[in-house]
Amino acid sequence: MKILILGHKGMLGRELAEVFSNGNELVLWDREQINIAKREEVMQKIGELMPDVVINAAAYTAVDRAEDEKDLAYKVNGCAVGFISTICKQINALLIHFSTDYVFDGESHNGYKENHSYKPINIYGKSKALGEKMILDIEPRYYLIRTSWLFGKSGKNFVETMLKLALENKNIKVVNDQFGSPTYAKDLAREVRGLVESKNPYGIYHLTNSGFCSWYEFAVKIFEFSGLKPDVRPVNSESRELGTTSAKRPTYSMLVNTKLPPMRLWEDALKDYLVESNL
């Protein structure tokens, strides 16, 4: 297949490029090759390329900054997804798009199934929900994949942030009242290829590593597996010790997978990531 990956320089984009490289013709585009927020450019360039599959790993992901950069967040995470969906439908390409646990409000202690109603509580979540609605309204052939708490090589992530703070001998304070499922980008990319090859019905899928934890529990495991012993303390998300954040975060954002076999435990994925990255 001819596969176009948008946002190939990002953490997930790089893993997708590696996973899909075997047996396919890959075209890798990032900001230098296409501005996905410009409709005419999207329609022309993707229309001329005529890929069989378009994987959209491009996104605006600065959760706090999005509160001040609303227009940009909505353009990249919302309107651009509409443009990509439109051209995919016109050329009958399969669209694979990634969304987030932040399209939900985080009030459900039991997590969120694929058909749960949207109720985002910050601009980032609202912009991602708009992108999802664009796909559902336009209806190309699609796999809309929600994931959460992504970590991996080639990008800023929570694991590397914690290790950096530990090596700097900082006193580390981590939120203990927000819960989700850490997900290894490499595992996610492999599951996406498996989903495409399985020819499962088109629609919304939840893909995260199994299990869930708080950010504090995640940090504790990072230090345990890496052999570091910093001073790390749990704090409430409303604590003044953390300083102020612009965007409100969901409390319980676990994504419940009802359609596919479960992925491996996040702890096992974390161990492999630390070994593979020499961290």
How large is the C-alpha radius of gyration of the chain?
A: 19
Find the helix or strand (DSSP H, E) in which 224 lies: helix 215-226
> Distance between the two ends of the chain, CA-based, in angstroms?
35
CB of 52 closer than 8 Å to CB of 2: yes
Find the helix or strand (DSSP H, E) in which 235 lies: strand 232-235
Residues paired with residue 97 on neighbouring β-strands, in sequence order: 56, 144
> How many CB atoms neighbour CB 21 within 10 A?
12
CB of 82 closer than 8 Å to CB of 133: no
- The SS3 call for residue 16 is helix
Torsion of CA 209, 52, 134, 139, to 10 degrees: -100
- The SS3 call for residue 98 is strand
- Identify the active-site residue in 124, 184, 205, 252: 124
The Cα 24–Cα 110 span in angstroms is: 39
- Tell me the DSSP string of 25-66: EEEEE-TTT--TT-HHHHHHHHHHH--SEEEE------TTGG
Clarify whether 112 is annotated catalytic: no
What is the set of active-site residues?
Answer: 124
